Amino acid sequence: MNSELGSGFKLAMRRLTSTVTILTCRLNGQRYGMTATAVTSVCSDPPSLLVCVNRSASFHAPMAEATHFCVNLLKVGQQHISSAFGGSKKGEEKFSEGVWLTSDEGIPYLADAQANIICTSSNSFSFGTHTIFIGQVENIMLAPEVSPLLYQDGGFAKAFSLSAGA
Ligand SMILES: Cc1cc2nc3c(=O)[nH]c(=O)nc-3n(C[C@H](O)[C@H](O)[C@H](O)COP(=O)(O)O)c2cc1C
């Protein structure tokens, strides 16, 4: 790839605003997690989503073996959790930020996230440096508030409504 295209792509992606999530799974009794914005709805029949995980991340190996994973959607004020799971902390120490509970499936989930989406890992594909995992949604927990922690242009942001009367 020529370097101009590569840097242009990175600059364009900085303008693709996304909700920050924490992906979590459990393997052999051990909890694993990673901050991710590469999360997309696939379809609603069956309810499914995809996540893109770099093979160099410590989360990749357990994610590739785990039968289930959870997508925890962060809210404004949870930037410290994003940082912990984005590389500033390692291993089990990541879970010292936030209140983490265990789902019926045994998956760690963040107690006060905007939403927790528990999936079975149903398929995966390699592309470039990443693996794309498809999750079939099994269970959802929703908090009352809609207050997404956004990531854009290399930093955190929050959304405001453009609807009439807002
Ligand atoms: C806001 C944000 C979004 C990120 N999104 C992704 C992503 O979608 N996929 C990915 O593989 N890494 C993503 N990362 C990087 C991983 O979180 C990071 O490489 C990983 O947590 C490093 O953990 P480790 O040191 O335990 O391997 C993101 C990081 C941040 C801060």
Domain assignment present for residue 160? The answer is: no
Domain assignment present for residue 9? The answer is: no
Which atom of ligand 1 lies at the shortest distance from residue 38's CA? 8
Which atom of ligand 1 lies at the shortest distance from residue 151's CA? 1
Q: What's the pLDDT score for residue 2?
A: 83
Domain assignment present for residue 4? The answer is: no
Which atom of ligand 1 lies at the shortest distance from residue 35's CA? 17
Q: How far is the CA of 15 from the centre of ligand 1 (A)?
A: 18
Domain count, the chain: 1
The answer for residues whose C-beta is within 8 angstroms of residue 153's C-beta and 6 or more apart is: 14, 15
> Which CATH number does the domain housing residue 131 bear?
2.30.110.10
What residue type is 83 in one-letter code? S
Q: What's the pLDDT score for residue 1?
A: 67
Ligand 1 proximity of 19 Cβ (cutoff 6 Å): no
Boundaries of domain holding 29: 18-151
Query: Consecutive sets of 10 residues in the chain, 166 residues long: mean pLDDT of each?
Result: 90 98 98 98 98 98 98 98 98 98 96 98 98 98 96 97 76
What residue type is 84 in one-letter code? A
Residue pair 133/127 in contact by the 8 Å Cβ criterion? no
Domain assignment present for residue 3? The answer is: no
Which atom of ligand 1 lies at the shortest distance from residue 82's CA? 31
- Ligand 1, atom 21, residue with closest C-alpha: 86
Q: What's the pLDDT score for residue 91?
A: 97
Domain assignment present for residue 6? The answer is: no
Ligand 1 proximity of 133 Cβ (cutoff 6 Å): no
Euclidean distance between CA atoms 114 and 44, whole angstroms = 19
Q: What's the pLDDT score for residue 37?
A: 98
Q: How far is the CA of 13 from the centre of ligand 1 (A)?
A: 15
Domain assignment present for residue 10? The answer is: no
3 state SS of 59 = coil
Six-digit token string for 82: 């994003």
Q: What's the pLDDT score for residue 11?
A: 97
Q: How far is the CA of 166 from the centre of ligand 1 (A)?
A: 34
Q: What's the pLDDT score for residue 165?
A: 62
Which atom of ligand 1 lies at the shortest distance from residue 20's CA? 1
* Element at 81 (helix H, strand E): helix 79-83
Domain assignment present for residue 101? The answer is: yes
Q: How far is the CA of 45 from the centre of ligand 1 (A)?
A: 29
Domain assignment present for residue 165? The answer is: no
- Ligand 1, atom 3, residue with closest C-alpha: 36
